[in-house]
Amino acid sequence: MDKGYDNPTGHEVAAENKYVAHIRSIRDDRRESRRPGRQKSRRWVVERTLAWLSKCRAILIRYDKHAVNYLELIQLACGYLWNLRIHRIIAFALCCYSRVVMRRKQRCHRLAYLLILRARH
């Protein structure tokens, strides 16, 4: 159980019902810092996905009477959301790639300019 049950009432109810209370103490310090190389855990995945799906009006209001049709609409909306996400990721990758290419071209131009200056002297 979480720290919200760390009070006398929470402990009494657990003891009355013969539960082994695994209640974290409010006074516990934070857990040790994450190990190097570990990413932060992802939370609220379901809530975020439902928020994205609620933007599709047919799913939000549920016009369909049959569960099969409703499920197909949800699958179609998930596919649409993944398509948008992949498009955004690809666009970001292309933008980063074009920046790298431009930096390389600028370096080549600078190097050529320095070589021309040295050749003149």
Per-residue confidence in pLDDT tens, the chain, 121 aa? 677 778 888 888 888 988 888 777 777 555 556 666 666 666 677 788 888 888 887 777 777 778 888 888 888 888 988 888 888 888 887 777 777 777 777 777 777 777 777 777 6
Dist CA 21 CA 7 (whole Å): 12
| 77: CB partners within 8 A, 6+ apart | 53, 56, 59
